[in-house]
Amino acid sequence: MEETLRELEQRALQELKECRNPTQLEAWRLRFLGKKGELTAVLRGMARIPENERPRIGQLANEVRDALEAARTSRQQALRREERDRRLAAETLDVTVPGWRIPVGAVHPLTRIIREIEEIFLGMGFEVREGPEVELDYYNFEALNIPKDHPARDMQDTFYITEEILMRTHTSPMQARTLEMTYPSVPVKIIVPGRVYRRDEDDATHSHSFVQVEGLMVDRGVRMSDLKGVLTVFAKGMFGEDRQIRLRPSYFPFTEPSAEVDVSCPLCDGAGCRLCKGTGWIEILGAGMVHPYVLEKAGYDADEVSGFAFGLGVERTAMLKYGIDDIRHFYMNDLHFLRQFRRAL
């Protein structure tokens, strides 16, 4: 009996060394230490040994069980350690490996310029409004003193949808819409950024679809000098303190008097170059004092209130600000061009 126990212990310890994973370890436990295991089977034979031998054999059997249990526990711990080391080795992180570059987009230069324009005018107390791109002929032309068959309609070649509905050719219809809505209150001080459409031939400074910002201020006693002051604040805020602006007499049916505003060329500083077509100046906006016809169409009394309005070309502003020599860059989606504005938010 004693020998059987010793032999069992040796064999069990030998086989334990072969166990490589928890499943094999459990099978080993059931085989040697389980209820139906080999040790229990040996102990069942106790009945056959002399009574005086039983305590000694019993103690030996307990020692063998304890030894096997202890060996199993330490084997289990060793296996866990091995498993953990294997996992850690597989998870090794080399912090010196370069990371993946996450592609980050940029705010489009036109969006950036619109935001800057809004900031400058918000600072002077203007509100930002929006209007429809698909517009009624009435607001785009008639309410602005441009009746059907008026020669001024040729100034803006139009995409018509029906005879009465069109793609707006400028943001000025928002002058008429706003005044109609705000009548009879003053002051009115708004700017309206938005896309406009014209059947223009695309070239370096013209696009068939471009962005304007309309400005409108109506109150008692608004004068041309207010217009000049506001536009000077805008030009200096946008292009810097040294940049010159000039007003040239012009004609729009919905302003009287009318003017066009030029900014001195940023590339040649007024000397004349390709961008400014040798003139030293680049036109960025049309403006003037709101025509009494427009005020009265909305209900206002033109003897009581007066106002100024302007329509600014956003692409031209961006071209001036960044020295971009072709308006088509804004619409080509060339990443080399757009990435230059990556850091601009």
Pick 19 or 288: Cβ nearer ligand FA5: 288
Pick 57 or 294: Cβ nearer ligand FA5: 294
Contact 306, 290 (CB under 8 A): yes
Pick 16 or 287: Cβ nearer ligand FA5: 287
In the complex, least distance from residue 304 CB atom to ligand FA5, rounded to whole angstroms: 21
Pick 116 or 283: Cβ nearer ligand FA5: 283
In the complex, least distance from residue 312 CB atom to ligand FA5, rounded to whole angstroms: 6
**Nearest residue (beta carbon) to ligand FA5:** 313
Query: Exposed e or buried b for every residue in 271-280, given b needs 16+ CB within 10 A?
Result: eebebbeeeb
In the complex, least distance from residue 225 CB atom to ligand FA5, rounded to whole angstroms: 16
Rg (CA), the chain: 44
Pick 12 or 309: Cβ nearer ligand FA5: 309
Note the residues at the interface with ligand FA5 (CB under 6 A). 170, 172, 198, 200, 206-207, 210, 212, 252, 255, 283-288, 309-311, 313, 315-316, 327
Pick 243 or 316: Cβ nearer ligand FA5: 316
257 Cβ contact list (under 8 Å, min separation 6):
224, 249, 288, 289
CA distance between the termini of the chain: 88
In the complex, least distance from residue 320 CB atom to ligand FA5, rounded to whole angstroms: 10
In the complex, least distance from residue 309 CB atom to ligand FA5, rounded to whole angstroms: 4
Give the full edge-to-edge strand order of the sheet including 209-219.
127-128, 188-197, 209-219, 306-313, 281-290, 255-264, 245-252
6 Rama sector, left if φ>0, alpha if ψ -120 to 50, beta otherwise: alpha
Q: Which residue has the tokens 């001024």?
A: 152
With H, G, I as helix, E, B as strand and everything else as coil, classify residue 122: helix
With H, G, I as helix, E, B as strand and everything else as coil, classify residue 282: strand
* CB atoms inside a 10 Å sphere around CB 30: 11
In the complex, least distance from residue 334 CB atom to ligand FA5, rounded to whole angstroms: 19
In the complex, least distance from residue 289 CB atom to ligand FA5, rounded to whole angstroms: 9
Tell how strand 281-290 and strand 306-313 pair up: antiparallel
Pick 68 or 258: Cβ nearer ligand FA5: 258
